[in-house]
Structures are given as structure tokens and as C-alpha cells.
Structure 1
Amino acid sequence: MNFINKEMTIIEILNKYPETIEFFKSKGFKGFENNLMLKTVGKISLEQSIKLKKLSVDAFLEGINDFISHNIETEDITLKNSEIKTNSDISITGLLPCPVRVPLLEGFEKFKKQNSLNISADLKAASSGLDWLKESIKKDSSNISDIFISAGFDLFFEDDLMGQYRKEKIFEDITGITEYNKDFKDLNIKDPNNYYSIISVVPAVFLVNTEELGNKKFPKTWADILSDEYENSISLPVSDFDLFNAILLNIYKLYGEDGVKRLGRALLRSMHPAQMVKSDRLKMKKPIVTIMPYFFTKMTGQGGPMVAQWPEDGAIISPIFMLTKKNKKDKLENIAKFFASKEIGEILSHKGLFPSTHPKVDNKLENNKFIWLGWDFINSNDIGKLINYCEEIFNNSIKEEE
């Protein structure tokens, strides 16, 4: 639903939807607290304001309308799904990607009603972080939720967290999917032990500021990013732990300790992806390349200096995992199949640009490659300890540069 259009003025929008001030701020709009400035700037059309910021009008309109829609709907949907029912038959816990959380919860609410299911669900936005989720994981497997959904490696493989239950073999992939989407061909992304389900992935891509590129070679591969040419020139999503850990692990696997050191030396600054899309407007030294989730590239303006580049050697991916308890297979099977369905896959892929593993979803990718950590590597390493080790190498290389 479109709540606003490009002809409306900023003052009209703020009067009708005051909560959108946060959205405007996140896209680089300033001075709204100054009434005099707002009376002047706020009188021009939204379209003119967006173009002055060199942002995509269509993408901005889609984003702000989604923001309003989510703000209206999220509270009610969240309350419905987070209600704790002591007599619930099934419990679900996890983190859902922010851009698609509301449509996913809407679909889930509809599914529950159609199937008359008594479920306790606590599915928070990924931006809330993992700390609360880690606290909910007890040493006794009988106390953990029946289904877990989240992205990243540390939660699912650390021995102090879900890793301990993997060793006890209490999980089973009950989605019924035997072959993943053709976009993941030859990656062997399906768990050979049949413990874990992967329903989607978060790809890391490059956003290149061509105004800052100078005589440097346009970066098309991860090797380019790690070259001496790009020292102190890169912005990384350090605060996005799921994706950052995936980047660290894959760089370590492909390039060893030296690769992780080079990544640390390449770091100019850490940014949230929402900041990355407007990094060309920073007053201080600007990153030449920002490494970010694929979703955020849709917020860049057409014809501006920021150019998205899918790495030619592959976008490093952070999988969105789903774990389901084996001893409740009969009760959980239909729910697992729902979350792994084409319907959910299309929401993830088409609305969030999180490519789905479902074989019948068209991810609308043009033979773009992925870099996947691999089950052999996962199963032969203590992933939790390796993440900590890579972080130490990365942080030390930053200190050496300083």
C-alpha cells in the first residue's frame, strides 16, 4: 500500500506520519528539528528532495512506504506472535531479516489460522541482535525451542550454544527438499548429515564510490579488495555480526591468516549498511568500497557515483538456517515445510533480495556466483573458536595500521 507519493511535501509527510523522521534521518536528511529550515526545505516536493540527495526516487518511495506499513503493522503482528502460551504445542524462536520480517509474520499468522495451530513464536527482527537468543539456549535440550531460525554461523555451531545439540543429533532437516535451487549448483550447500536446513542466504557484495576511485583498479573480486592498493579504503559491516563473521571465515579459508590481516588493513571504517548507501556524502575521508548485504544496493540512486558490483569470484554468503527437533517431527513437519516453501522463498528473494534455496523460486540472478564456506570445512573446524581467532587477527591488524 502506498501511503505517500512523490508529489507530497516533506512537511505534509511529517505531519501525517511523524514517525518517518527516523527514516529521513537514516537517508541523510538533516535539520528537521530546526523549524525555520523545515519551513523552507519542507515545502519542496519529496521527489525534488530525493533527487537533491542523489537517491533513487522509486527505491526511496518503496522504502518509506514499507517503513510506514511496517510501523503500523509490526506492533499488532509482533504481539500476536510473541505471546507466550504455557500450553502451546510448539515453540519457535529466532531472528528474521528486517526488510521482510512483517510479510513473513503475516504469512505465518495466516498459516497458523488455516491449520488451527497452537504455537508460541518469538521471531524478532535481526537488528535486535543475538544476545537475547543466546541467553534463551539452555544446557538442557528439553528446554530449547522446537524450531530455530536465524542467519550466521556462531549461534548454530559454537559448542556452548547450538553446537552442543548438533553433537547430540537432536535436529533433523524435515523440509522434504532434496535438491536446492539451481543458483547454488555445485556448491553442495545441503547438509550431508541432514541436521540443518538452509532456507535462504544473505550475500555480501561491493558498493564502489567511483568518485573516490581515482587511478585504482575497479575492484571486481575479493582478491582485489585484499590487495595493497585498497589498504585503508574499505567499509565493512562489522556491526552486522552474521555477515561479518561469514566474511571473516571465508577469507580465512580462501586466503589464510594473511588474508584476514589484509582485510583488517583494508578497513577504513565500520558502518551499518543503511549508512553505507550514502557514504559518498561523508565530509571526512570516504571509503572507496563498502561491503554490504545485497539488499541495500537497491537504495542507491541511478546515475550517482555509487556502483554496485557483485564479486566475479562470488558473493560470500551468510546462510539463514532453520533447525527442527527430530523427536517432534510429526508436529513440526508442516511448519518446517511452510518456512522452506516457495511462498516464503519468494518473499525472501523478491522483497528482501535474500536468494532462496527453494528449487522453484526464480531468484532473478544472472549466473551470479556465491562463495560458500562448505560443510567439510564446518565439520572439520570448531567454528566458534575459529571466529574468535579470526576476529583477533583482524583487530590486531587494525591496531598495527594505527
Structure 2
Amino acid sequence: MNTISKNNFMSDILKSYPETTDRMNLLALLPCPLKLPLQEAFSKFVQKNNLKNLEYLIEGNANNQYSYYSFVEQLEDIDEIPDIVISPGINSFYYKNFVDKFIDKGLFVSVSQNTPNNLLSQIGVNDPGGNYTVIAMNLLVMVVDKLKIGNQSIPQSWGDLLQPEFEKKVAIRGQNNSFCETTLLTLFKQFGFEGVRKLGKAVKYGWHPSQMAKLAGSNSNDSPVISVMPYFFTKTIKHKENVEVVWPKDGAIISPVTMLVKADKAKELKQITEFFTGAEVGRICAAASFPTMHPEIDNKLPQSANLNWIGWEFIKEYDIGGLMTDLNRQFLKAFI
């Protein structure tokens, strides 16, 4: 068993693929809250099962993830991809270039063994095409600063954020010219390009969620009135007495954590994929406020929690990469 170093991320990834066929590769690009607990659990699993023919990297650095997604967009050969890839969000693995060359040709197969609990079954998170395996979900909710909302009504749905009274009062995840893809896609699905432009008017800050959590309820001059952040980060807010966590009536936005498994390696990789779809990983994800697909796991969501999933029909209908370019462009026209 070999772990890949992180000194030179891309070169190590590319060099990790052995020329011989008796080796296996795994790359897990994980949200920060899942990186350390899953890395520790997987390391113990690898040692316990003596998986000496496995090379793997579990990575939680967002900048490294972006560099890898840029590489994925240019891929021509499936041999340049690890046997298993786990990644968060609607990223380059959903873009037309990748879908046309690899997904539509059946080169990746879903390995889910789980019938999800009732809530998740109702919203159709499992891929009906049998290509992607969703192992967990990052949920985006609203956090309202009660010290700053004043006499304004607390928003109850995503559409409420598009009203003029919330212009330049909202923070979402973003950096440079790229903003949270699942937020933009969901608002586009519900309200079209006009809704995305209105969101651009509403947003004042493009931040990492940790920065939102740090300032929420702090009464700082720089803190936003409303922050759109992962449910996990609401647990880390220091000034909880000054905020209200809002589960929108139209549902917390789902950003999936997806596993891709090469179809011709699925049987050989079964022991590993069963680990990532199993109860132990399910418990780890649920404990980090990432609902899991495993039916035996209590995700501990509020009873009234609704979830908002853009759906596989939407993903298959659009050129997601091209659409994201358009959505960021429309958003930025109003944001700047």
C-alpha cells in the first residue's frame, strides 16, 4: 500500500498510475469536514485488509481540487483517470466532454448497494443511469444574522433572496470569478437567468464557509446579513445566539459527494467500494452533517427539513460545463 505525497499534487497523481494491471488507484477529493475522519478510517481499512496493491490519495485542499478538475476537462484517455474517484459537487466529471467520452460509453458504473431512506428516495438522488454513485450530500442552508436583519422579514425560501431588500446583503461560497455551482444551478433551474442575475445583485461576498461561520452573529461591520453555507458549518458558528438557521421551504440545496468506479474494474474493486458505501462511512458522513445514502444510518436532520436536488434529468439535459460558464457570466454582471 502506498499513499501519494502532496508535495506536487498533479505530477504525483499522473505518476501514480502503474503500467502493470495488478495495481489499483484511488483518488478522493473530499470536502474539508470529511477529509480527516475518512482518511483515518480508510487507512485502518487498508492496513486491516492488507491492500498492498493499492495506491491512493485522500485530498481536502480546494485549490488542488480545482487544478485537477481543469485537467479532467482535457482528458482523452480513461487510463489517465484513477480506478476510483470520489469528488464533491457538480464538477468536471459532469461536464459534456467527460460525459461524451466516458459516461455515455458506459465506462463507469454505479456500485450503490443501498436503497436510501424514505426522504432521499423521494427526491431521487440515486443515478438512474447507473454511472455515478452518490455516497453523501453537502447541504446548503441560510444563516440569518438577527443583529443585522432589522425589521426585514427573515427569508424563508431561495426566491426570497432575490428580492430588492436583500441586495448586497448575502454571502455565498466563491472565489475570483467562480461561485458555488450548485447554488447557481439550483437558482437557474427555479428562476432562470433572471434569477441568477438577481442573486448576483444580492451577493456582496464570495467567501469560504469557514469565514461566514466565523463572522455570523459577530456584529462585525463586515459580516453579511445572510450567509448561504453548508449545514456542517452552522455547527461551528461561535455566536449562535445571534443567528437563525433557516431550512428553506423549497429545500436545502444538495451538493453531492460522488464516487466514480471504472466498469471493467468494479469486480476487482468491490471490497473498496463496499467500504465507501457501507455503514462505517455512512456514520462518519452523518456525524459531519453530510447525509448519507445508507438506510441504516440516522442522518439526524430536522423533522421539517426539505431537500432541493436539481435532479438527474436536469444534469443530462444540459451541457453543465457550458451552462456554468454562462451562469457565472450572468452572475458577475450583477455582482461586480
Q: Report the TM-score, using the length of structure 1 for normalisation.
A: 0.74
Give the structure 2 partner of residue 109 of structure 1. 43
Alpha-carbon distance in 2 for matches of 1:240, 1:192? 35
Give the structure 2 partner of residue 270 of structure 1. 206
Kindly indicate whether residue 330 of structure 2 is the aligned counterpart of residue 388 of structure 1.
Answer: no
Alpha-carbon distance in 1 for matches of 2:178, 2:307? 16
How many aligned positions are there? Answer: 321
Q: Unaligned 5+ residue runs, structure 2?
A: 7-11
Question: Which of 305, 309, 312 is residue 372 of structure 1 equivalent to?
Answer: 309
- Provide Cα deviations, 1:260-309, integer angstroms capped at 9, x if missing partner: 01100101122211111232446535411011111111112365312222
Q: Unaligned 5+ residue runs, structure 1?
A: 1-75
Letter aligned with residue 132 of structure 1: S
Give the structure 2 partner of residue 94 of structure 1. 28
CA separation of 1:239 and 1:361: change in aligned 2, threshold 3 A: farther
Give the structure 1 partner of residue 258 of structure 2. 321
Give the structure 2 partner of residue 297 of structure 1. 234
- Provide Cα deviations, 1:84-121, integer angstroms capped at 9, x if missing partner: 48466210113112122122112111211222212111
Alpha-carbon distance in 2 for matches of 1:338, 1:242? 33
Alpha-carbon distance in 2 for matches of 1:282, 1:303? 12
**Post-superposition offset of 1:349:** 1.2
Q: Report the TM-score, using the length of structure 2 for normalisation.
A: 0.88
Letter aligned with residue 271 of structure 2: N
Normalized per residue, the structure richer in helix is 1
User: Contact between 2:24 and 2:55, CA under 8 Å: does it hold in 1?
Assistant: yes
Identical amino acids, percent of aligned pairs: 31
Question: Which of 275, 282, 296 is residue 360 of structure 1 equivalent to?
Answer: 296
Alpha-carbon distance in 2 for matches of 1:216, 1:369? 24
CA separation of 1:383 and 1:171: change in aligned 2, threshold 3 A: same
- Provide Cα deviations, 1:195-249, integer angstroms capped at 9, x if missing partner: 1100001111111111111110011211211112211111111139998100100
CA separation of 1:213 and 1:173: change in aligned 2, threshold 3 A: same
**Higher gyration radius (CA):** 1
Alpha-carbon distance in 2 for matches of 1:188, 1:378? 13
SS of the residue 2:175 aligns to: coil
Alpha-carbon distance in 1 for matches of 2:285, 2:192? 32
Q: Which moved more, 1:335-344 or 1:85-94?
A: 85-94
Question: Which of 272, 275, 284 is residue 221 of structure 2 equivalent to?
Answer: 284
SS of the residue 1:311 aligns to: coil
Alpha-carbon distance in 1 for matches of 2:177, 2:28? 15
- The residue correspondences of 1:156-305 to structure 2 (distance < 5 A) are 156-161=93-98, 164-177=101-114, 179-239=115-175, 244-279=180-215, 280-281=217-218, 283-301=220-238, 304-305=241-242
User: RCO higher in 1 or 2 (8 Å CA, sep ≥ 6)?
Assistant: 2
Alpha-carbon distance in 2 for matches of 1:241, 1:398? 10
CA RMSD of aligned residues (A): 2.5
